[in-house]
A and B are shown apart, each in its own frame.
Chain A
Amino acid sequence: MEIQNILRRPRGRRSEQQQELVTMAQPLANPQNAKHVLETKGLGIYYGDFQAVTNVNLTIRRHKITAIIGPSGCGKSTLLRAFNRMNELSPGTRIEGEVLFEGDNLYEPAVDPVEVRYRIGMVFQKPNPFPKSIYENIAWGARIHGFKGRMDELVESCLQQAALWDEVKDKLKQSGLALSGGQQQRLCIARALAVQPQVILMDEPASALDPIATLKIEELMQELKKNYTIVIVTHNMQQAARASDYTAMMMLTDRQTRSGTVIEYDDTKVIFTNPKDKRTEDYVTGRFG
């Protein structure tokens, strides 16, 4: 119920108890101990008349990294964006079925989508820091979100969690845009952490980075999953194999409709060593894609 209340509250107002939760150094404890943080039931996603995703039934496990893989155009990013209602930013988008967050439907009319995006943060393919100082990149969102605690501590904590603190602690006033691509991406992760999300969605977070920066992001994900739940879309199968605990394989349901769905979802080890579906086998072994 707590989460439901938080999601539905008008922006800018917060009970004392909720304020206390938000100002905690660590993310929220599991409020309902629901088995799965996110769950989709019969999820279909439409862009106008075109159905991009069909009948996805997926459960995202708490404090685990779930990878979504599949060939281009099969709806991976669309599915990811449905987890925090980012799709609504494109006109004509609608869904059928349900997306449950801690057991509550994210798409109920009373739910505030902005609040959803605080709870379920997102990191994009291209690092997109604000054209502001490193410090402000983190402080800004938290301040707008009503953070009243010690900002310096929050900034340090987020940068440390994003494994960036040691590299930027002496130049917090410098522009975030002056950092390298890998550092910018970690800054974006730190920025997402500043509003205390429970889930972090990552849409190909390392595809624009070199191998070392990529490995840093992957190592960071392993640290972050202790406190957060991560869902990552990636084209890099080695990355999915290395970094994730569970893997969902998406594919077009048929060639005419060009709508994607999850064809296999299992432990990452199983997907990459002994997948059950022939299409997954063909994809992960590079026989088509």
Chain B
Amino acid sequence: MTNIARFEEPMLRKTFEHEIQQVKDDVLLLGSMVEQAILNSVDSLKKRDIKAAQKILDDDRLINMKRFEIENKLMVLIATQQPMAHDLRLLASCMEIISELERMGDYAKGIANINVRMGDAPLLKPLIDVPRMAQIGVDMLHQALTAFVNEDVETAKTIPVHDDEVDALYNQVYRELMTFVIQDPKTIERANWLLWVAHNLERVADRVTNICERTIFIATGEMAEIKSTDDEFWEKQKNNR
């Protein structure tokens, strides 16, 4: 009879379920910190607000600390709860996802660093496509984290398509900056700074794709790489030369 009672009681691990939910919430919190950092870094660059850039550099420590805090929670859960199957895939993937998020935070930090290093030098050109890249990247990240929480495989598969838009914008920024450099080689340094900003934002979108891959893995157990459009991009660059 005892077994039959258990048969009908699927919630045997309420504490563990609760802790898993907490980890998911923490991942979302880390994600929102990173989203904010990326948007702020580009906004402060656009406004040439060094003080705001400095704050982003300081706040990156909070992102790193949050990542270590979640990592620690994950380690404790793995050690104490011995997760299996779906639970194991989820916790192992969270470890990967927080690492991706922390690196995205580093990209925001990199953009803030460029802002600080530029000093009084004016922007080579008004920022139009770069904020677009940031917005698309952040939107992708937001959707990817929502898909992660809901384990929504279909959405996770479609998000990386937007990486093409980011790549196209990056391509455009690259060409524009090269035009400046060709016209006046003295602009090389300022062009290079903006190119790095665009590059960082392009990498954000790539890392979102990695998060989507993890979501698919959590839900299905299939570890598959979503085909990157970057390869095609670099192939095109090569052909254009």
Hey, which bits of chain A sit against chain B, CB under 8 A?
71-73, 237-238, 241, 252, 255, 272-275, 280-282, 284-289
Contacts and interface: CB of A to CB of B under 8 A. Distances in A.
The 10 closest A-B pairs by CB, nearest first: A274-B221, A284-B84, A272-B84, A285-B87, A286-B13, A281-B85, A285-B84, A285-B85, A284-B85, A255-B4
A256 B81 CA distance: 33
A224 to B, nearest CB: 25
B10 A285 contact: no
B86 interface: yes
Contacts of B89: 273-274
Q: B interface, how many residues as a size bin?
A: 10 to 19
B7 A255 contact: yes
A273 B13 contact: no
Contacts of B7: 252, 255, 288
Interface in B1-24: 3-4, 6-7, 9-13, 16
B168 to A, nearest CB: 37
A289 B221 contact: no
A241 B83 CA distance: 11
A286 B6 contact: no
Given A252-B3, A273-B88, A285 B83 contact: yes
A141 to B, nearest CB: 37
Contacts of A237: 82, 84
Contacts of B6: 71, 288-289
Contacts, number: 51
Nearest to A72: B3
B16 A282 contact: no
Nearest to B220: A274
A217 B235 CA distance: 56
Nearest to B4: A255
Nearest to A274: B221
Contact of A273 (B4, B82, B85): B85
B12 A287 contact: yes
A242 to B, nearest CB: 11
B18 to A, nearest CB: 14
A288 B9 contact: yes
Nearest to A276: B221
A274 B223 CA distance: 11
Given A73-B3, A273-B88, A275-B85, A286 B16 contact: yes
Interface in B124-139: none
B3 A285 contact: no
B91 to A, nearest CB: 11
Given A71-B3, A72-B3, A255-B4, A285 B9 contact: no
Contacts of B13: 285-287
Given A252-B3, A255-B4, A255-B7, A288 B85 contact: no
Interface in B60-90: 82-89
Contact of A272 (B3, B12, B88): B88
B86 to A, nearest CB: 6
Contacts of A238: 82
B230 to A, nearest CB: 29
